[in-house]
Structure 1
């Protein structure tokens, strides 16, 4: 992904944001914010990291404004933590500000407009990393929101890769992982195979959301029965418990809420057809 220089055509920035938002299926505002942050970092690299520089892109016109801010602080200003110190490039004490500005008050900001500039090689690389990182974060958040309420569902996907017995499955708007002990013994998948799995957990981890898949989970069998047996799907027959020795045998305890329906006979079907 390329990030244009600050002096780029204003429509270019919006076109980049539109293209990335559509490709990654995230909000355009998130991409614009990422580009703003990238431009700010590039400007700080050029003018000095101690400056309070802010970039703002008009989401309708694409107009970019780059400004440097200096804030008035009290004369007895104290840092909030040990690492913070007085920054004379972004702060001015009230007494000093009053010498030049009779209307100076604590909290007032002086804003200076900075001229456009071209990104150098270092700034371009830095900007690309910022935008890529922000977009990846947004993708992860989207994936977690997409799957967090789908625990207990059966999903179809395509085998993306197989690593040390673990199968990574492409689910369309994300990917899930089926560990070796969640697969059925002696079942082998190749890249590109269509696969049906059961989502038994979705975890929000530092490296991104982990969608945990299984084909050996008892819930997988229960969901398959619900798809195959209309009485279970309609709630007339209730699956109370299930146990599996995956790939070998399985047991289910079923209960009928209608005295006229035999729960075992309905699940087994005519001559075991189900």
Structure 2
């Protein structure tokens, strides 16, 4: 039997290219399993060790126990309590071992060894494939469609390597047939023993980057950089580029003479339309470029919230910026990282006027100033009570008729309002909704009084009767009834 073991090790090692040590370990593991099945059928938890002499093929079998504390002695078949041993000779964690009779390396053990060896062969082959392709993640790989499954395609990449192209990683309406050639991006190498190992994609953004790098020498040479990519796979994409040589037009270089370079990329991506725009470190300019071919009239940027209001002079330009099914604005937003709010100049002016009126009303109600002063505060740029409270006094000097005493009084009232608001928040006072505050005939003071009674939204107010709210300061039966009717309008619109 010892010679048979050596023969198995030598044969499998030569045929499969496995390390002989791995095969010896597989046979030892198989003998352990067979020993348990044959000798210790009633005690599957016993601990067995088999040691094969690597030179002669002879092997010995041992049963062993782990020394544990008394309170941990739960498995007598493979554990020994420290109190049952000489504590001068043994300590917790030691292994007590005794040799037992070895079984023959017969049919059962050989079958077990074969299964373990096959598994190790698979693991070794997967490791070889992973080692070969790990450095190629992000590269274009061309292979032949070997087989189609319900969820994807098996792609033969040559040299006994297969990739997996899932259906959701293919382009819309794309049907690949067996034996057809397909180019994909390798986006992940899976080293785990389960699942497909080489994962391919035709929808990944890196696919577009790799194709552009292949078709445009200036990109591969580092003269032009690809900064951002946004894709709606198979439909449309935007790619922003930056040149490191001011003599080279990055957009023209990417498009190529008569569009030959970009057309080659589009053809590979099933006609996906690709817009190439110039990257800019100025967010406003970058957004304007990303929205091409639309002409932006003006733009209001908020870098803190990553939002931008984009204003257009005509409906045609607005429609062009939005694009078919919203594709252009979606891609521009993804490319720049900004949420883009699109509107006409007339809509923007209406919104600005509405916001201005809301601020005027806020100052009129909370600061207890006349409407002319409230309007003057809003028109010089104040947007909140906090701003009024804590800006330098000199900021108010642009308002005619205000002396230092008046400015001090306004700021004191603003600070009181800020403190009151903070205390209200700490006391979990409920806030009225924006729609309730904006309701025709509503004042801020009344809205907050309503919120104290859990009347937060328009629907809450619409469900009230006049006698429920007419006792609120600032209301009477007529004004309460009118507010309720105004709130109910939303039910019929």
Q: TM-score, normalised by structure 1?
A: 0.73
Asked whether the 8 Å contact 2:49–2:61 carries over to 1, the reply is yes
Write the distance in 2 (CA, Å) between the matches of 1:245 and 1:211: 24
Unaligned ranges ≥5, structure 2: 262-493
Number of the residue aligned with 2:385? none
Structure 1 SS opposite 2:114? helix
Provide closer, same or farther for how the CA distance between residues 262 and 127 of structure 1 changes in structure 2, counting only shifts above 3 A. Answer: same
Higher relative helix content: 2
Corresponding residue pairs, total: 254
Asked whether the 8 Å contact 1:14–1:62 carries over to 2, the reply is no
Asked whether the 8 Å contact 1:72–1:97 carries over to 2, the reply is no
Structure 1 stretch displaced more, 261-270 or 203-212: 203-212
Asked whether the 8 Å contact 1:144–1:209 carries over to 2, the reply is no
Structure 1 stretch displaced more, 34-43 or 137-146: 137-146
Number of the residue aligned with 1:85? 75
- For residue 40 of structure 1, report the CA deviation from its aligned partner: 1.6
Provide closer, same or farther for how the CA distance between residues 262 and 85 of structure 1 changes in structure 2, counting only shifts above 3 A. Answer: same
Q: 1:44-123 residue pairs with structure 2 within 5 A?
A: 44-48=36-40, 49=44, 51-59=46-54, 61=55, 63-71=57-65, 73=67, 77-79=70-72, 84-87=74-77, 105-106=90-91, 107=94, 109-112=96-99, 114-115=101-102, 117-121=104-108, 123=109
Q: Name which of 233, 247, 264 aligns with 2:220.
A: 233
Structure 2 SS opposite 1:273? helix
Q: Deviations over 1:139-189 (max 9, x none)?
A: 445555555554322223332211125112233464332122321234332
Q: 1:185-196 residue pairs with structure 2 within 5 A?
A: 185-196=172-183
Unaligned ranges ≥5, structure 1: 1-5
Q: 1:166-177 residue pairs with structure 2 within 5 A?
A: 166-171=152-157, 172=159, 174-177=161-164
Provide closer, same or farther for how the CA distance between residues 118 and 230 of structure 1 changes in structure 2, counting only shifts above 3 A. Answer: same
Write the distance in 1 (CA, Å) between the matches of 2:75 and 2:203: 58
- Root-mean-square deviation over aligned CA pairs: 3.5
Write the distance in 1 (CA, Å) between the matches of 2:36 and 2:215: 62
Number of the residue aligned with 1:201? 188
Higher relative strand content: 1
Q: TM-score, normalised by structure 2?
A: 0.44
Q: 1:144-159 residue pairs with structure 2 within 5 A?
A: 144=130, 147-148=133-134, 150-159=136-145
Q: Deviations over 1:24-58 (max 9, x none)?
A: xx544333322221122122222224553322345
Write the distance in 2 (CA, Å) between the matches of 1:56 and 1:208: 34
Write the distance in 2 (CA, Å) between the matches of 1:156 and 1:244: 21
Provide closer, same or farther for how the CA distance between residues 234 and 27 of structure 1 changes in structure 2, counting only shifts above 3 A. Answer: farther
